[in-house]
Structure 1
Amino acid sequence: MFTDKTLLITGGTGSFGKKCVEIILRKHRPRRLIIFSRDELKQFEMQQVFPQTTYDCLRYFIGDVRDKERLYRAFRGVDYIIHAAALKQVPAAEYNPTECIRTNIGGAENIVNVAADCGVKKVVALSTDKAVAPVNLYGATKLCSDKLFIAANSYTACDTVYSVVRYGNVMGSRGSVIPFFLKKRDAGGPLPITDTRMTRFWITLEHSVHMVLRSFELAGGGEILVPKIPSMKISDLAEAIAPGMPTVEVGIRPGEKLHETMITAEDSRHTIDIGHYYVIKPETCPYRGPEGRPVPEGFSYNSGTNESWLTVPELRATLREQGFDVQP
């Protein structure tokens, strides 16, 4: 569906954006692929990897999702948008709340309105497990963003379709705990662990990109797509990276949870299972996506009670596949 179409990725120089560009260029033939971000240095560095002389469909567009006028210029003639731009560092968001709100909420509102005005066919916004029952400002802003994109299917009175994709921790993304553990390991340890009971959903960067691209075919508008992905224990991740190295428990930091949730029991009443994904159907507009089996009432998709788990050997193998320096 991307052949001879124009795609735009907000936050296109981030971890997700770079992997997404790599996969689109390898597997699809878009007419134009626009990298929209606000950091000219990151765009320059990305152009060394993906030069326009080699990939003539690429466009590098400096702009900020807060700047509505700039979005009008960037969205002209665009068919599909992947919205990946966000301020996502939890401590930074707590200390700079208005900046986080302006980007994650104000930026989402701008994208909704400008996409409608410019006749964009479909927008898929990236969400996070931290948007579910949020305990920090970052999660709260992403919850608001999700609500804006879902509601947009009802009030824009246009043909633009808006959907949300929600997944857990991305292995190897910027801010991931993996490089931190590797650095501590190389320094001789010990590895600081917040809580040995802590669990997280886990997904590779490539898997997250394939899921988002697939969502353009699946999404009918207003739903939240949630992949079925495994959980892992933070203590098992430490063992996979540094076998036998001592750890020290430092306690859960402000704004963190012991376990993450992607679907709450309250959402179970309008959630269906479509195979590889769960779909939280919209309550404010008709559902036009694929049909599936309703989940049991009271169902909760929680990293601590997940049916699928990664073992230490599986974690170690996945880390090696992603290029991290861990022993077999």
Structure 2
Amino acid sequence: MAQVVYRARSCYRFPPVCGGSGVIWLVRIGLAVAALLFIARAAPVALSAGEPERVDKRIAITFDDTPRGAGAFLTLEERGPRLIAALAAAGVRQAAFFINPCRIQSERDGALVRAYETAGHVIADHTCTHPGLSRVSAAFYLADIDQSQARLRGRPTYRPWFRFPFLDEGGSDLVKAQAVRDGLTARGLINGYVTADGYDWNMERLTIAAKRAGRTIDMARLRDLYVETHVGAAEFADALALRATGRHPAQVLLLHETDLAALFLPDMVAGLRKAGWTIVTADEAFDDPIARRTPQVDFANGTRIQMLAWEKGLEGSRWYDRTDGPVADRLFEERVMQGARLQ
């Protein structure tokens, strides 16, 4: 009786099943419905009109000019351990330190580099003596790299990355630029480029000058300017990269081994995470597809993103405004020195 009732209801709602091929037709409907349900579950949920698109914002932390001279607040003996502790507190499991081996002139300097390695960070080449490529010959420059390579290769966390001092890849001398690129390739080195730059070295310079002049420095405002500037640098680079490449590549943030980094790095990383950034290793960042691109531009200088934007011919500024010296200096004076509270 139950079968008769089911068939009667089926004939009322789905008349084709009452014919000779009705059972087959019903099976086909069931299979179609099951397929649609499977597709619906597998497909990504469409965003509503008011929901922002998710983006993959990844950034690695890197430091130049190790070992570096004294800053405004910490001794050289204090700064290294403080910076290592700051990286640990911020949850940065791997940063990259670009080394100038000719500056390692004492046991303290050597111990500092070993401490970075012991803490799980990696080291790479920043030339031996820190020359600007535009100021020397390609032969001199490559010989300087050979000196640093002799001291760096074989170290436990060494990576075959080379970063140009001053981000100077040869300027307008394209013949020299290509000669050095060929020399890097012959030595098994890849360009350890930068994509995001907040001119932290300039902020450190201004802080040292203020301290030496006996001026009062508002440390809370200095921290806020440091954090805001570097989060802004990452955001600027990401927006420019999207225009230049059509995607969100892993970014490489340029910092220097400064007192400001040792003091404020956890605040900066917290600011990046609040803005939606994930901190990744330098290994991951330099595995991004843009690592395999060499922008062909008339002036080889600056960040990888800037040069990619120039290569594409994008209109508008390719430079983060806080990497302009007068702008950065004025912000420091207005934001840090006016109404300062702490010495």
TM-score higher than 0.5 here?
no
Larger radius of gyration: 2
Q: Shorter chain as normaliser: what TM range?
A: 0.3 to 0.5
TM-score (norm 2): 0.35
TM-score (norm 1): 0.36
RCO comparison, higher one (Cα < 8 Å, 6+) = 2
Greater per-residue helix proportion: 2
